């Protein structure tokens, strides 16, 4: 077992799936190898956070507007 070089789905750059991370994945029972490099993963996580907040806010705002216009 050794470090693996994988290609990031998002930025197409190579990243290292280290032995330690492979062990961590196994421990957690993850069957799939990571699809993204760590920087894209972090970016995605932050994006999802801000997107989720913005979405729920604009959604409730939007439904209020809909009720008014009805």
Q: How far apart are CA 68 and CA 43, in angstroms?
A: 37
Q: Which of 10, 14, 23, 33 binds Zn ion (CB under 5 A)?
A: 10
Judged by CB under 5 A, which of 4, 8, 43, 44 binds Zn ion? 8
Tell me which of 11, 26, 33, 60 binds Zn ion, using CB under 5 A: 11
Three-state DSSP at 25 gives helix
Cα 38 to Cα 11: distance, rounded to the nearest angstrom: 11
By CB under 5 A, is residue 16 in contact with Zn ion? Answer: no
Where in 26-55 is the site for Zn ion (CB under 5 A)? 37, 40
With 0-12 CB in 10 A as exposed, 13-18 as middle and 19+ as buried, what is 37? buried
The site for Zn ion (CB under 5 A) is made up of: 8, 10-11, 37, 40
């Amino acid at each position: 077992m050794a470090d693996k070089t994988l290609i990031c789905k998002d930025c197409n750059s190579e990243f290292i799936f280290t032995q330690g991370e492979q062990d961590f994945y196994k421990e957690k029972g993850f069957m799939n190898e990571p699809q993204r490099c760590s920087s894209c993963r972090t970016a995605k996580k932050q994006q999802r956070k801000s997107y989720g907040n913005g979405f729920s806010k604009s959604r409730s705002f939007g439904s209020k507007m809909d009720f008014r216009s009805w």
